């Protein structure tokens, strides 16, 4: 029993083998596991909106972390907010004909050893050499400050020169601010710039600049402006607990953005960069029809699901939908102009010569009338023998209250007669020079021919699109209210306050609904117009 006779197995032996086979199958091929090539993970790397079309760049990976085989558009479904969003197409990135806009975020602090920095330069030079015709690259450095030594270009010679000129010379590291600035560059809308945008950085994850951008601010920016960060994490041995915490933070930034963290050390730095370059391009491009979605500039959740056999894979990302920008006669995007006044940008805001002449004549007539009244009053007083009243009127003429003059929805005022004193009390005073600070607004849209504007903030500045109510008027942006927000100066502190727009005022990627302190360098988003504010 239990032996082979005449080539047949006994029933007991057959049952034993059957049970063993089932056990082995359960141990080594768990139910629902994905074999090589079968989709087991879905990640949204990036989104790009050209309303009503929306593109999602997807990493669909098998159980070994490699691109999955033969994923079809019919396996995907998507929603934006509560609106079902049809998937109209799906193709590998290599077949899309698109390029990539690379933002190389380079640490130039002394925390990187010179030999390591040289290896990084070599890897970047190899990357530059491999750029395709449609690719673009920009170089952003971070150390004690964040700078852009090279803007987007496809000129390999220019890029190689910029890379070669880099050196680790700074004593501090502003990694967080560098990530924020790189994210801002990824939102640019330059003509010809590829939709696929990625940030590539080599870092140990350490932020050594006191009082700089916080980790939470970086994560909030990543949430509202999803741009994948592909980070190569390094450390100088030994690996301490503090160094591991820095690397963990870098990994959190990368994963939250739709990118990935690559640990260096197992392979050479040039090989690590090549692995990153391959993963950037190993995505599927899904095209979505967003016509049923509200294009109001607010943040909505894109949720995508992939049916892979018995598995349902899912991932989500936040995105904003703006109305399509109408082309100009030349076929290029119209910039959003900022003007000193105007309801909708269609009027000429310059004061006409006739109005100026009329105002000057009115002022001369009013002044002459007042002088005659004063002279007549003085003659009558002398004739009566009462003499002139020599009491000082200093202090009886109060300085004008500028706050009331700026109140919103104020009634029109007659500047020719308002505030006139009785003749016997009339005194011409020299107005004190207004105090305040100069605010400098930089329009982040590079297509605007004059992107810088200055306003003097004494107590209050209103920003919106109606001349009669606003000190800074933004034309051509339907997402901006008539009175959108106000800037206040209180004890030398600049405050921004949303004027009831329903959350359409953003500071550094975060919506505000109440008073919020501003710092020089902050980024303000009103509708679809982005401004950087500067002051000292």
Question: Which of 52-56, 119-123, 319-323, 368-372 has the largest mean confidence?
Answer: 52-56
Question: What pLDDT, on a 0 to 100 scale, did the predictor assign at position 35?
Answer: 65
What 3 state SS string does 287-320 have? EEECCCCCCCCCEEEEEEEEEECCEEEEEEEEEE
What length is written for the chain? Answer: 536
Helices 215-224 & 241-257 angle (0-180, nearest 10) = 20
- pTM of the entire predicted model: 0.61
Question: What pLDDT, on a 0 to 100 scale, did the predictor assign at position 211?
Answer: 76
SS3 449: coil
Nearest to 297 by CA among 84, 49, 465: 49
d(CA 194, CA 99): 5
As a whole number of angstroms, the longest Cα–Cα distance in the chain is 153
How confident is residue 418, by pLDDT bands cut at 50, 70 and 90? very low
Q: What are the backbone dihedrals phi and psi of residue 51, each rounded to the nearest 5 degrees, phi first?
A: -50, 135
Asked if 167 and 117 touch (Cβ cutoff 8 Å), the reply is: yes
pLDDT digits (tens, 9 = 90+) for 22-75: 444 443 344 455 566 899 999 999 999 999 999 999 999 999 989 999 899 999
Question: What pLDDT, on a 0 to 100 scale, did the predictor assign at position 24?
Answer: 44
Q: Is the pLDDT of residue 399 over 60?
A: no
Please give the share of the chain, as a percent, with pLDDT higher than 70: 71
- Higher-confidence residue of 21 and 87: namely 87
Asked if 183 and 199 touch (Cβ cutoff 8 Å), the reply is: yes
SS3 20: helix
d(CA 320, CA 330): 27
Pairing of strands 460-464, 452-457: unpaired
Cα–Cα distances in angstroms (integers) from residue 251 to residues 205, 232, 509, in the given order: 9, 9, 21
Question: What pLDDT, on a 0 to 100 scale, did the predictor assign at position 347?
Answer: 38
Question: What pLDDT, on a 0 to 100 scale, did the predictor assign at position 444?
Answer: 75
d(CA 111, CA 203): 9
How confident is residue 503, by pLDDT bands cut at 50, 70 and 90? low
pLDDT digits (tens, 9 = 90+) for 378-396: 434 344 433 333 333 333 3
H/E element, 203: strand 196-203
Cis peptide before 439 (omega within 30 of 0): no
Question: What pLDDT, on a 0 to 100 scale, did the predictor assign at position 96?
Answer: 96
Average pLDDT over residues 279-285: 96
- Neighbouring-strand partners of residue 64: none
- Neighbouring-strand partners of residue 338: 474
Nearest to 107 by CA among 95, 120, 122, 96: 120
Q: Is 17 left (phi over 0), alpha (psi -120 to 50) or beta?
A: alpha
Question: What pLDDT, on a 0 to 100 scale, did the predictor assign at position 111?
Answer: 85
Residue 503 has a CB neighbour count (10 Å cut-off) of 13
Helix (DSSP H) and strand (DSSP E) numbers for the chain = 9, 26
Could you tell me the two tokens for 58?
């997807």
- Neighbouring-strand partners of residue 89: 287
Q: Is the pLDDT of residue 330 over 90?
A: no
- Higher-confidence residue of 8 and 295: namely 295
d(CA 379, CA 129): 92
Could you tell me the two tokens for 301?
């959740």
Average pLDDT over residues 164-175: 94
Question: What pLDDT, on a 0 to 100 scale, did the predictor assign at position 359?
Answer: 58
H/E element, 42: strand 41-50
Asked which of 131-145, 311-325, 416-430 is least confident by mean pLDDT, the reply is 416-430
Q: Is the pLDDT of residue 338 over 60?
A: no
Asked which of 269-283, 392-406, 507-521 is least confident by mean pLDDT, the reply is 392-406
d(CA 125, CA 273): 11
Average pLDDT across the chain, whole number: 78
Q: Is the pLDDT of residue 158 over 90?
A: yes
pLDDT digits (tens, 9 = 90+) for 197-233: 999 999 989 998 877 888 988 998 888 778 999 999 9
Nearest to 530 by CA among 103, 243, 224, 148: 224
Q: Is 263 exposed, middle or buried (0-12, 13-18, 19+ CB in 10 A)?
A: middle
Q: Is the pLDDT of residue 336 over 60?
A: no
Q: Is the pLDDT of residue 415 over 90?
A: no
- Higher-confidence residue of 151 and 267: namely 151
Could you tell me the two tokens for 485?
């927000």
H/E element, 181: helix 175-186
Residues 6+ apart with CB under 8 A from 364: none
Question: What pLDDT, on a 0 to 100 scale, did the predictor assign at position 240?
Answer: 92
Question: What pLDDT, on a 0 to 100 scale, did the predictor assign at position 246?
Answer: 93
């Amino acid at each position: 029993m239990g032996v082979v006779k005449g080539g047949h197995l006994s029933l007991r032996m057959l049952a034993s083998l059957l049970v063993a086979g089932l056990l082995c199958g359960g141990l080594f091929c768990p139910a629902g596991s994905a074999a090589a090539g079968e989709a087991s993970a879905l990640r949204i790397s990036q989104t790009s909106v050209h309303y009503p079309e929306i593109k999602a760049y997807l990493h669909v990976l098998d159980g070994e972390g490699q691109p999955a085989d033969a994923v079809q558009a019919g396996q995907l479904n998507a929603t934006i907010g509560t609106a079902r969003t049809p998937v109209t197409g799906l193709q590998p990135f290599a077949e899309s004909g698109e390029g990539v806009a690379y933002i190389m975020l380079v640490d130039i602090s002394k925390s990187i050893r010179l030999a390591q920095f040289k290896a990084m330069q070599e890897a970047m030079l190899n990357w530059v050499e491999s750029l395709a015709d449609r690719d673009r690259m920009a170089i952003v450095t971070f150390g004690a400050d964040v700078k852009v030594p090279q803007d987007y270009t496809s000129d390999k010679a220019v890029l190689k020169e910029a890379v070669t000129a880099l050196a680790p010379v700074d004593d501090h590291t502003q990694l967080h601010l560098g990530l924020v600035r790189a994210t801002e560059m990824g939102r640019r809308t330059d003509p010809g710039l590829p939709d696929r945008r990625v940030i590539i950085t080599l870092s140990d994850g350490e932020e050594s600049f006191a009082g700089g951008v916080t980790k939470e601010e970086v994560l909030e920016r990543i949430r509202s402006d999803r741009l994948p960060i592909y980070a190569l994490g390094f450390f100088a041995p030994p690996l301490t607990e503090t160094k591991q915490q820095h690397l963990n933070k870098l990994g959190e930034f990368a994963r939250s953005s739709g990118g990935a963290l690559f640990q260096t050390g197992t392979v050479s730095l040039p090989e690590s960069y090549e692995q990153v370059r391959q993963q950037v391009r190993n995505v599927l491009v899904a095209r979505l029809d967003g016509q049923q979605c509200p294009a109001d500039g607010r943040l909505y959740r894109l949720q995508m699901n992939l049916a892979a056999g018995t598995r349902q894979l899912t991932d989500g990302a936040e995105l904003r939908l703006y109305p399509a920008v109408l082309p100009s006669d030349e076929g290029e995007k119209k910039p959003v102009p900022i003007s000193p006044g105007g309801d909708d940008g269609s009027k000429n805001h310059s004061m006409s010569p006739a109005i100026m002449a009329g105002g000057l004549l009115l002022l001369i007539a009013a002044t002459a009338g007042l002088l005659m009244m004063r002279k007549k009053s003085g003659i009558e007083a002398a004739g009566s023998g009462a003499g002139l009243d020599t009491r000082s009127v200093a202090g009886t003429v109060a300085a004008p209250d500028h706050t009331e003059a700026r109140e919103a929805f104020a009634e029109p005022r007659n500047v020719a007669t308002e505030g006139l004193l009785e003749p016997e009390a009339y005194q011409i005073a020299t107005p004190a020079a207004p105090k305040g600070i100069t605010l400098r607004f930089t329009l982040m849209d590079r297509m605007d021919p004059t992107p810088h504007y200055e306003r003097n903030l004494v107590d209050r500045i209103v920003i919106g699109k109606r001349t009669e109510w606003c000190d800074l008027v933004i034309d051509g942006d339907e997402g901006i209210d008539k009175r959108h927000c106000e800037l206040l100066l209180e004890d030398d502190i600049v405050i921004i306050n949303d004027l009831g727009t329903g959350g359409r005022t953003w500071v550094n990627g975060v919506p505000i609904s109440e008073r919020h302190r501003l710092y020089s360098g902050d980024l303000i988003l009103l509708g679809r117009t982005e401004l950087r504010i500067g002051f000292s």
